[in-house]
Amino acid sequence: MAERIEEVAFEVGAERCAGWLHLPAGAGPHPSVVMLHSTAGVRQLRCYAERGEAFAAAGIATLQFDCRGFGASDGEPRQLFDVKRQAGDLAAALGFARSRADLDRGRIALRGGSASCAQVLALAALDPAVRAVVCLTPFIPGRDTQRSAGTPFARLARAASADRLRMALGGSPRGVAVGGEPGETAVLVREDAAARERAMLPPEARLDADGQRAELPGGVVWENRIVLRPRLRTPHPLRLAPRVQAPLLVIAGEQDLLCPPGPAAELAERAPLGELREFPLGHFDLYDGASIAAEVEFLGSALSAEEGVNGGGGIRTHETP
């Protein structure tokens, strides 16, 4: 029997999150990984769908889901990037995975990328039963990241406050671009972010003339836009790392301008069972699949039937793509 994809859904309060469960061949119970997508990510993007397929082919079930307000999931306003809401979605997804008879509740990992790494680390720090954690190009706030990424935080804060006023007056928020050009009010303004974001759309996507919105299979909408909360507070990864007792794989790009490798290396160093793998690549190169083999290797070892096979307290590996 070949691996298969099952359409799934789970409740978060009164709202519903839609997802895919990539299942390996065989009856299970399978080890599994719960993936939290970053920023405006939806499960149809190639960077997520291809990982689900690769993990399932290696015998690891993969739960991907659209956070509330994104993709096929419930939630208003649409495109709201709310870290508290995301944390609730991730906890519900982990609970759903543990409820499945075909998944081994004792062998479940969490995986995040960029901005979602903070939520993944926070849940792993609270839940010692999480077996392993993967952080791809983690976003770590601080001077080094701001200097490298050039994110216009002041303009983003003003845009968020203006949207809050619009919503208070009964209007619809405008949001800000995820990928943009230097000088624009966008979250990512380096590494040709706008074009690289669009390049991760599936081949069937119907992109609008401006390249800011696309209709995906099943009527799902992707937008190069998020609505920000004013004074957005996220858990700081470097403070969470010492509390994560599971093996942690941190993947960094030596040419990553958006989430630079220095803070990522510190994250791995601070985790009791941290491992750093560096690639001579940029941010979107790693999203686009260059690190999949390393992720599969790590998860296969960490989720094996034997306890304690992974972890190394700051192991550092240089990879050749």
Q: Tens digits of per-residue pLDDT, 70-97?
A: 999 999 999 999 999 999 999 999 999 9
Q: What is the pLDDT of residues 196-236, one digit of tens each?
A: 999 999 999 999 999 999 999 988 999 999 999 876 677 89
CB 83 within 8 A of CB 232: yes
Q: What is the pLDDT of residues 104-132, one digit of tens each?
A: 999 999 999 999 999 999 999 999 999 99
User: Which residue spans within the chain are E strands per DSSP?
Assistant: 4-12, 15-23, 30-36, 61-65, 80-81, 103-113, 132-136, 177-179, 186-188, 206-207, 213-215, 221-223, 227-228, 248-253, 274-279, 315-318
At 148 the pLDDT is 96
At 309 the pLDDT is 45
How would DSSP label each residue in 94-129?
HHHHHH-TTEEEEEEEEEEEGGGHHHHHHHHHH-TT
Question: How far is residue 215's CA from residue 180's CA, in Å, rounded to a whole number?
Answer: 20
At 16 the pLDDT is 98
Least confident of 114-118, 231-235, 281-285, 317-321: 317-321
Is the pLDDT score of 47 beyond 70? Answer: yes
Confidence category of residue 27, pLDDT binned at 50, 70, 90: confident
Confidence category of residue 310, pLDDT binned at 50, 70, 90: very low
Q: Which amino acid is at 22?
A: H
Q: What is the mean pLDDT of the chain?
A: 93
Confidence category of residue 308, pLDDT binned at 50, 70, 90: very low
Is the pLDDT score of 259 beyond 80? Answer: yes
pTM for the complete prediction? 0.94
CB 175 within 8 A of CB 228: yes
